[in-house]
Amino acid sequence: MGYDRSATMFSPDGHILQVEYAEKTVRLGSASIGINCQDGVIIVADKGIKDELIVKNSADKIYEIDEHIMTSAAGILSDARILVNQTRLIAQQNRVTYDSPIDVESIIREVSDIKQQYTQHPGVRPFGVSLIIAGKSGNKTKLYTSDITGNYFEYNAIAIGKNDEKIKEELRHQYKPEIKTDEAITLALKIFKDILKENFNIDRFNISIIKNSDKKLKKFTPEEVKELG
């Protein structure tokens, strides 16, 4: 009793319950899929069902960190906003200091360090959000995720949020190393269609891409997304 009242307290069976509760929060959030491809990297994010009165462009689930790095989140998006703002600051400081774009792994490491700190200090709670961070480093595109505990890994394809295990199982069966970005977008939308069934609506999705050729983030407009539906 009381082992879940602090992020600094281990339960007798070796768990930090506040961290596990935060992981459950992430799985309540709408899902995002990231796929690293032969010619670039893509993220397809489900915005969920929003109020019709909301201006659609204000409800994006994919955020620009720098012109060559993007991220999407699942969980408490207000927590994500704080982390995104911090990574944007770090990316710009790197440009000012070194006159070069920051490496993608440096960004995911900084985010993960911040998240880890919030699992060991009293008086705070863990960030209730997982992130997919994707971008161009040198001649290659990279795809990472950072979880609640502050761990991060590089992936060929990954999903976070609601039904993430089902989505990852589909990705394990259907992902191929030679996949191109247009095929990956089609695959991600197909998986969402299979998962959401009658709730699938193309208007729910944000799509962004970073290609090897131009090294810059391109966000699909609502009209371009609809053409894919």
Q: Where are the domains of the chain?
A: 17-220
| pLDDT of 50 over the 80 cut | no
What are residue 35's DSSP bridge partners?
A: 42, 157
Question: What stretches of 39-163 show up as alpha helix (H) in DSSP?
Answer: 77-98, 104-117
Element (H, E) at 223: helix 222-228
Judged against a pLDDT cut of 80, whether residue 173 lies above it is answered with yes
Residue 196 has pLDDT above 80, yes or no: yes
Average pLDDT of the chain to the nearest whole number: 93
Options 3.40.50.150, 3.60.20.10, 3.40.50.300, 3.40.640.10; which CATH number does 17-220 get?
3.60.20.10
Strand order in the sheet with 157-160: 157-160, 32-36, 40-46, 205-211, 217-219
Query: pLDDT of 32-49, one tens digit each?
Result: 999 999 999 999 999 987
pLDDT, residue 162, reads 95
Instruction: Indicate the range of 5-19, 98-112, 162-176 predicted with least confidence.
Output: 5-19
